[in-house]
A and B are shown apart, each in its own frame.
Chain A
Amino acid sequence: MIPEIGHFALILALCVALVQGILPIYGAAVGNAALMSLAKPAARLQFLLILTAFGCLAYAFADKDFSVLYVASTSNSQLPLHYRLAAIWGAHEGSLLLWTFILTLWMFAVTLFSAHLPEATRSRILGVMGLVSVGFLLFMLTVSNPFERLIPAAPDGRDLNPLLQDPGMVIHPPMLYMGYVGFSVAFAFAIAALLGGNLDAAWARWSRPWTTVAWCFLTVGIAMGSGWAYYELGWGGGWFWDPVENASFMPWLAGTALVHSLAVTDKRGGFKVWTVLLAIMAFSLSLLGTFLVRSGVLTSVHAFATDPKRGLFILAFLAIVIGGSLALYAWRAPKVGLGGSFAMLSREGMLLANNVLLVAAMGSVLLGTLYPLFLDALDLGKISVGPPYFDSVFVPLMVPALFLMGIGPLAQWKKANLPDLAKRLKWAFGVSVVSALTLPIVLGNWTPLLSLGLLLAVWIVTTAVVSLRERLTHVTGNSLMERLASVPRSYWGMLVAHCGIAVFIVGVTMVKGFESEKDVRMNVGETASIGDYTFRFDGTQDVMGPNYTAARGTFRVSYDGSETTVLYPEKRRYPVQNQIMTEAAIDPGLLRDLYVSLGEPLDDGAWSVRLYHKPFIDWIWGGCFIMALGGALAISDRRYRIAWHKQEPAVPAPTRAARRKVA
């Protein structure tokens, strides 16, 4: 009964989505206020309906209702409750429901925080989101219904893939989808502006916080996925340039470009046409990511779905969304004004150059991801495009972008002066070069890449310091604290996010330069040393988990003769799918991680063991969280809070424009 309610809620939601997608947009076009006012209640109703459907599926999982095909194929009676609930997005159908649920959640948020938007704009935004939702609901109801019954019911479920039975599964997909789907708001804002023909600085200001929130979620989502891979897969890597990882990374690159381009459109009224294109691009890439992961065109760790019908549906949907919005773009964009003038050497110019680099980087990831598929489809041979390829094309594209990142915030809008910039940056440059040359030697391993990485990281931080110092001399206030407090939060956000990148680079550079690993054969009582740490193997014992049995090893780790920690890596066997999983044990630290994973049992209680010493690796994820923190700071800026909490006072249009210009 409950699954039928869920199914019925989906059908109702489709009807509501159709109303929401058609009538308000039509109303906005002909100026019919009654039709426009439908958008808000329709969006809220749709949210409630999808919430109901989501709740029904969650209930079916909690209740172990194996007469629902999806529940039977992704869970098992032995599976603990939190993993049964996470199994909602453990495979294709449920992931789509999660996608749609998050889409309606964003819609609901738009209805809450759009009091300051003109009625027509709001109706168009919600209408466009409604249309996207129509696509996903149709998809679910026609070819991938999560509520499909299995009659007769299975005695027990086939279980969730043990690889996914991890706390990471509970949090990583929702975070990632919040980011992916969040770009639908920026997309809807852009399409609404194209439809209404009012692409102005106000449009950029409105869509900016939404884009930044989505970007933050995506950043955290990707970082969590990478951290999960690091400890779950058992070979100590966190990023494999796997097509599924690339699928989430491409929207991130486009989204990063979008965040920066929006800043210019907001502050200077420039780049409008480009910003709109980026908004379309970021969302299209999110859809493409969903398509790549969910259609089964890739054969990779994450892609479990294989069904050509679904692939064709998503492809058609993709073609309609991307083709339609690009056609609209081609039709309306030429009518958009240019905005203020600026020289090539100016903050605008540098931001635009950075955008070109980010989009080129995104294009290379796209090329590398799709190329083997195309070659295969055209029967031109099977190739593999892996980390060596991406490392060699991605790094040269990112290095100039990171270098520009240091200069951009210091350059004046409109027209910057090169000798002046050089003068202001000479200290930062000197410090960066000297530390890049000496640090690796002090640390005992000089390689060009190590130097380059440190150069960029130090450059980003020192230029941020220069920028902050200059900023402080220009604000009013007597004490340092007062002046620090009067710097707007959006500026702090920018600095923090950029420093997050620096932290990230330090992490990647130090791990690549100084990590060490050892494959050893360890008898009980034997020791092995790595990176000044000594590991003693105290044997394994059998452990019973809720739905697995495991051999748990005990490793006593000592440094300088005194014990620092005890690590318990496991080798688990999940009987339902008869899979063996390696659970690595990690002692995380600010300056290094110690990582042990059990290989295979050898004779006499001995095991093959893999030990890693990974300096600074947590900085990689720490950097991502700092970036997201920067984004959060930026959206907590006063000007957005004012915009959300009260309607903008009725100032005559020309003065408003003037105020914007000087802001």
Chain B
Amino acid sequence: MKWIILIVLCVSGPAWAGEARPLADDPAAEARLKHLAVELRCLVCQNQTLADSNAPLAEDLRREVREMIAKNMSDKEIIEFLVSRYGDFVLYRPPLKATTTLLWVGPFVLLTIGATALVITLRRRAHKVVEVAVSEEEHRKVEQLMAEGGKRS
């Protein structure tokens, strides 16, 4: 069988338009790898995910993850293994722990503070601002000025 394919390949050469093979042997495992790798950091790159990097070390790490997938480890187990080896630095989604609490709640605390400050300021302001009534005479004058302005420009 192999021989036949080889002969066909040799005879038809470049004109033979076959369907290209996927780079990975197991597309399902590759999809899982991709899913994991977009949240992992390439440790030697400046700021790239493991999925995007072409660095040799990233390639090694991807191969290791592939092997772990082949061993039927769950995503959680794989990530735990990587963290035990490389620390939290490898995760682009920092885990929630004592040192990162502020990081995760910060944005929403900011929003709450902002919203509260907004409401309080507006309430306080509403008491302070005094409505100035516009008299009939002033109103007429404004209308007149506007009409003039319209003509002028």
A positions within 8 Å CB-CB of B:
233, 235, 237, 240, 242-243, 299-301, 303, 338-341, 343-344, 349, 352-353, 356-357, 359-361, 363-364, 367-368, 371, 375, 380-389, 392-393, 397, 518-529, 536-539, 582, 599, 608-609, 638, 642, 655, 658-659, 661-662
Contacts and interface: CB of A to CB of B under 8 A. Distances in A.
Nearest to A539: B14
Interface in B88-134: 88-94, 99-100, 102-104, 106-108, 110-111, 114-115, 117-119, 122, 125-126, 128-129, 131
Interface in B124-153: 125-126, 128-129, 131, 138, 141-142, 145-146, 149, 153
A521 B15 contact: no
Interface string B27-62: 000100000001101000011110110100000000
Given A384-B41, A536-B17, A341 B103 contact: no
Contact of B94 (A233, A338, A389): A389
B142 A659 contact: yes
A356 B118 CA distance: 8
Q: How extensive is the interface on chain B, given as a class?
A: 35 or more
A381 B87 contact: yes
A609 B88 CA distance: 32
Report, nearest first, the 4 A-B pairs whose CB atoms are least far apart: A386-B92, A364-B107, A388-B93, A341-B129
Given A339-B129, A519-B22, 20 more contacts: A299-B46, A338-B128, A341-B125, A344-B119, A359-B114, A363-B110, A364-B107, A382-B89, A383-B91, A386-B93, A388-B38, A388-B93, A389-B93, A389-B103, A397-B107, A524-B14, A526-B19, A526-B20, A527-B18, A655-B141
Nearest to B106: A367
Contact of B126 (A341, A353, A382, A526): A341
Contacts of A393: 104, 107-108
A338 B87 CA distance: 52
Contact of B145 (A353, A397, A519, A658): A658
Nearest to A343: B126
A380 B141 contact: no
B129 A338 contact: yes
B76 interface: no
Contacts of A385: 92, 94, 103
A655 B103 CA distance: 52
Contacts of B21: 520-521
A523 B22 CA distance: 11
A407 to B, nearest CB: 16
A382 B87 contact: yes
Nearest to B9: A523
Interface of B: 13-24, 30, 38-39, 41, 46-49, 51-52, 54, 87-94, 99-100, 102-104, 106-108, 110-111, 114-115, 117-119, 122, 125-126, 128-129, 131, 138, 141-142, 145-146, 149, 153
Chain B interface SS verdict (over half): helix
Nearest to B128: A338
A300 B47 contact: yes
Contacts of B51: 235
Contacts of A303: 46
Given A352-B118, A364-B107, A368-B103, A386 B20 contact: no
Contacts of B88: 381-384
Contact of B47 (A242, A340, A344, A536): A242
Contacts of B94: 383-385, 389
A343 to B, nearest CB: 8
A366 to B, nearest CB: 9
Contact of A364 (B20, B48, B110): B110
Contacts of B128: 338
B20 A537 contact: yes
Contacts of A518: 22
B23 A608 contact: yes
B145 A527 contact: no
